[in-house]
Amino acid sequence: MKKTLAILVALFTFFLYTEIACAAPSSSAQAFAVMEASTGRLLYAGNADAELPMASTTKIMTTLVALENGDLDQMITVPKNCVGVEGSSLYVKEGEEYSLRDLLYGLMLRSGNDAAETIAVGLTGSVDGFVELMNQKAAELGCTGTHFVNPHGLTAEGHYTTARDLAKITSAAMQNETFREITGAKSWKMTTGTNPRVINNKNKMLWEYEGANGGKTGYTSAAGRCLVSTAERDGMQLVCVVLNCSPMFEDSKALLDEAFANYHWTKVLASGETMAIAPVENGRGESSVPAVTQGEVWFPLLDGEKARLRLNYDVAEARAPVKTGDSLGTITLTLDEDLSATVPMASAADVEKEQFGDYVRKVMGGWKMFQSSP
């Protein structure tokens, strides 16, 4: 039995493998992907690794990077070169001061390209410096088919992603509570700048689809109509990406409907469950202790998949004294090569260390038994 301290520190470790667990429904999109956000399981996909322009869905990464590198209440002054950026606009003016918070709502709800560049320059001093952070984040998330050239998604050589990668990026963003608040807002009252106003979200999925809680629209002539949709039902958070899809809302609804109908958010491991018995060396009256799970695991599963789950135990050897909660190894649940989760196990009880007197009494007891034997 092995001791793997690096694993013991982690509460949960999820790994994504790219096999598709269920035949994909049809879509008119050039590429699409439906992913469960917390596990990263790819539920459906079509042409998901094709490198394509993604228009303003770029701004999901822009927002995530800004949230990780800025303060929502910091004030940013609009520089001259960020005014009048082509395409959709927040209509910022040179010298205006906006909070990063207002700029991010303007970026995600109104899709302001000028807001994107203002954020980039305000946080890193240049558009190029901010884009470098975007590419670093993409690499960190394992996005091998993505490269950013700008923070807004206007057509540019070398600016592309894949449906799979964009689903990964959005899944990561949805783990950020502030991102969820911004992307899920139907409207926002801007209070900074010289023209305080109410802005409305362009993503009509928020009004038309049950459980919809975010996403981003996008369009350029090169990218076509693009949409990232997020929706949650019964605790299962899905991300749907369609690239170059004229009926983007209709196709997204159909894909999400298919996923919600076939996959179920399933608790496959409960917290506090005894899953192994760990041996204890030098324990006072005890040679073992129950090892219980230190977290629960949920998977998006098709009917019948739960029976195919496999358990792998890595039980650590314990040496008394052992305290309740001491690390005792890990348990890993896998489904083929599609899903994997590792959870630490801990001692469910105290075990005192055997004292010298205990050892003497044990020896004397053995000697008496020896003497009384015929």
Q: Which residues are catalytic?
A: 56, 59, 111
Residue type, 174: M
Strand duo 318-319 + 274-281: pairing: parallel
Q: Using DSSP, how many helices (H) and how many strands (E) does the chain show? A: 10, 18
> Among 115, 139, 109, 112, which residue's Cα sits nearest to residue 127?
115
- Alpha-carbon radius of gyration of the chain: 27
Containing 169, the helix (H) or strand (E) segment is helix 163-173
Residues 6+ apart with CB under 8 A from 118: 76, 78, 79, 82, 92, 98, 103
Contacts of 304 (CB under 8 A, 6+ apart): none
How far apart CA 370 and CA 96 sit, in angstroms, is 94
Instruction: Determine the Cα–Cα distance for residues 117 and 123; give it in Å rounded to an integer.
Output: 10
Is 323 one of the annotated binding-site residues?
Answer: no
Distance from the first to the final alpha carbon of the chain = 41
In our burial notation (b when 16+ CB lie closer than 10 A, e otherwise), range 200-211 reads ebebebbeebee
Which helix H or strand E contains 253, and what residues bound it? helix 248-262
Largest CA distance in the chain: 103
Q: Which residues are annotated as a binding site for substrate?
A: 216
